[in-house]
Structure 1
Amino acid sequence: MIDPDLLAAATWTTEPAAVRRTDEGLEVSAVRGSDAWRVTSYGFVHDDAHGLLAPFGARDAVEVRFRLDYDQQFDQAGVLLRASPQTWVKAGVEVSDGVPQVGAVVTAGRSDWSVAPVPDWHGREVTVRASREGDAVTVRARVDDEPFRLVRVAPVDPDLELRAGPYCCAPTRDGLVVTVTGWRRTAPDAALH
């Protein structure tokens, strides 16, 4: 379920090609070439990911759920936390070299990227959870009702104003449609482990 209060408070970072409300949630059609990346290794800056973002507090957590039914190079979906074009975190599942990879990109002026293959997640429902407490954001992910696994712990300025919510990108193709089936706010994680 998508929290209607979050939806009412949200705005797009970059408008997608189309958005359609369905009984399952939101179908978001990405624009070819959309992405989020800054400088590292490639030398380019992309700042046109389709993020639907609402305010995200200093002690807060957000969960985004989506169907992993995409399979083209660099197709991606998950959760985006954003303060500015130079400061953001995206976490979710991105297809790289033909395999779904759970991972995160943390950007403070320059982007980094960490991934782990999850080929058995294809065709299933993924939940990505970002929990903010103090000077850190803890990202966890799971498929269906399996236990959450730790994806990343990233530093974040506790005074930084962030917005957070679902995102998707289609860096290399037309036709990516991501079905967001859930988006909710919850209390931050009580512990790292």
Structure 2
Amino acid sequence: MRNDFRWINEPQSWERKENSLTVTTDEKTDFWNTTWYGFKKFSGHIYGCDVTGNFTFQVKVKANFTKLYDQAGIMVMTDEDHWLKSGIEYNDGAPAIGSVLSLGHSDWATGVFPGSADLFWMRLTRKGDSLRLQYSADGEIWPLLRVAHFPVGEKCTVGVMCCTPERGGLLVQFEDFSLSEPLDKELHDLS
């Protein structure tokens, strides 16, 4: 993991060791902007670094999601109004894979996760004004989760995120951080 990672909304309890980060979420933390609920929140935890241009960011995530809206995964942002978060989020009585894109207002797309949600991988590739989001249940097969337009300039912050809107105390472990040149594979290449 690069040494220039920093906290946005630093949690009270966390520990970094080489290429892993363990976090316990603070009480009632969240990321959302207006849509449907009418509120704006930017209190979740982000551990990220600044990047310029195109890149691929990948990480392995371990957590035990049990309460409504428990979530952890990855995030890319330029400010509190322009960001994308993605990972596992607990809703409708089960952990689901999903993403939220906020370009002034948030959207939310969610679906069934095809594995055990206590261990998963996330990958985000930026190519110009486009984002390619992938996930994996085994670290080998990488289905496409989302392609999104993200027209926010050259510089952004990318890293990991976690939050618990209904409680505190979710223990999350992030491992195998990887930030590299962008993977320029075909859109439906699952490797």
TM over 0.5: yes
Give the drift of 1:68: 3.5
1:188 counterpart = 2:178: no
Structure 1: state its 5+ residue gaps.
Answer: none
Percent of residue pairs bearing the same amino acid type: 28
**8 Å CA contact retained: 1:78, 1:167:** yes
Q: Is the 8 A contact 1:35 1:169 kept in 2?
A: yes
| Unaligned 5+ runs, structure 2 | none
Q: What is the aligned partner in structure 2 of residue 159 from structure 1?
A: 153
Letter in 2 for 1:159: G
**Aligned match of 2:69 in 60, 64, 74?**
74
Higher share of residues assigned helix: 1
Partner of 1:101: 96
1:107 CA drift (Å): 0.4
Which amino acid in structure 1 is aligned with residue 165 of structure 2? P
SS class of match (1:121): coil
Match of 1:51 among 30, 33, 46: 46
Instruction: Pick the aligned partner of 1:170 from 141, 164, 171.
Output: 164
RMSD value, Cα:
1.7
Deviation at 1:120, TM superposition (A): 2.9
Query: Is 1:14 paired with 2:5?
Result: no
Deviation string for 1:97-132 (max 9, x for gaps)? 221111110001000000111163233x21110100
Query: Normalising by structure 1, what TM-score?
Result: 0.90
How far the C-alpha of 1:159 sits from its partner, in A, is: 2.4
Distance 1:12 1:24, change over 3 A: closer
Cα distance in 2 between the residues matched to 1:24 and 1:52: 13
3-state SS in 2 of match to 1:130? strand
Q: Distance in 1 between the 2:24 and 2:66 partners?
A: 15
Match of 1:62 in 2: 57
Moved more, 15-24 or 58-67: 15-24
Matched residue type, 1:179: Q
TM-score, normalised by the number of residues in structure 2: 0.91
Q: Counterpart amino acid of 2:53?
A: A
1:22 Cα shift? Answer: 5.2
TM-superposed deviation, 1:162: 0.7
CA contact (8 A) 1:99 1:118 kept: no
